[in-house]
Amino acid sequence: MKIAVDGPAGAGKSTIARLVAEKLGLRYLDTGAMYRALTLEALRRGTDTSDEDAIMRVATSIDLNIVFQAGKGNVIFLGGEDVTGLIRQPDVTAQVSVVASHKKVREFIVALQDQIGKQGSVVMDGRDIGTVVMPDADWKIFLQASVEERARRRQAEFERRGVEVDFDELQEQIRMRDHLDSTRDNSPLRKAQDAVEIDTTSLTIAEVVDEVLGLIRGEGEHVQDSGGNP
């Protein structure tokens, strides 16, 4: 069983994909974490994120390990160091779209993701899973949410880590990232033709998970159509 979960930044992809994987007893891969880990290492080395060849030298030399742990999702290790929290810091978030826009980098990372996808049942989330990484996925979900709601979620996420961020600045960063992700030449963010789109703006995490599981189990009843939308 292969399940692809795509969508823009802050739409809830990682949380939903992880919980769906746990409910179904499947492996889970947050593909965005791979680009974030690469970005973190590039920043640590003082590498120019706009220099494709320089970023590729980082990509081919890092010791990246992703471990799936029930209840935690993906735990990211760089050279044996747990950087799961560090890859979500504002400086990494501000540069990850630039790193992910490079053709050679995407081809390198997508090849790794493809290998993982061929190892058996898996739930992957990202921006090009249903269109590029796993176009043969059994189910393709595209999560969406308003910019305001996505900024609110990001702000809450940062606050839980003790990081203060400006709400208006977050909104602008998300708009910019949406633009970069959807207009890049290599594997742009877009909904697969056969994907089911779910707007998570007014839904709880549990409601979105239930809707996705309903689709996979053949119930096909959307939360919005069954009176579950608050």
pLDDT for residue 180: 87
Instruction: Kindly state whether residue 220 falls inside one of the protein's structural domains.
Output: no
Helix orientation angle between 31-44 and 103-117, rounded to the nearest 10 degrees: 140
The sign of the dihedral angle between the CA atoms of 119, 16, 136, 191 is negative
Instruction: Kindly state whether residue 23 falls inside one of the protein's structural domains.
Output: yes
Q: What is the CATH number of the domain that holds 133?
A: 3.40.50.300
Distance CA(110)–CA(31), nearest Å, equals 9
Over range 185-204, report the average pLDDT: 93
Distance CA(140)–CA(51), nearest Å, equals 33
Instruction: Kindly state whether residue 12 falls inside one of the protein's structural domains.
Output: yes
Count of domains observed in the chain: 1
Instruction: Kindly state whether residue 222 falls inside one of the protein's structural domains.
Output: no
Residue 147 vs residues 18, 58, 101, 107, 176: alpha-carbon distances, Å: 22, 32, 21, 29, 11
Instruction: Kindly state whether residue 62 falls inside one of the protein's structural domains.
Output: yes
Helix orientation angle between 52-59 and 103-117, rounded to the nearest 10 degrees: 30
pLDDT digits (tens, 9 = 90+) for 132-170: 999 999 999 999 999 999 999 999 988 988 888 899 999
Instruction: Kindly state whether residue 159 falls inside one of the protein's structural domains.
Output: yes
pLDDT digits (tens, 9 = 90+) for 74-130: 899 999 999 999 999 989 988 998 999 999 999 999 998 888 888 889 999 999 999
Under 8 Å between Cβ of 49 and 95? yes
Instruction: Kindly state whether residue 164 falls inside one of the protein's structural domains.
Output: yes
Structural domain boundaries enclosing 48: 2-213
Instruction: Kindly state whether residue 181 falls inside one of the protein's structural domains.
Output: yes
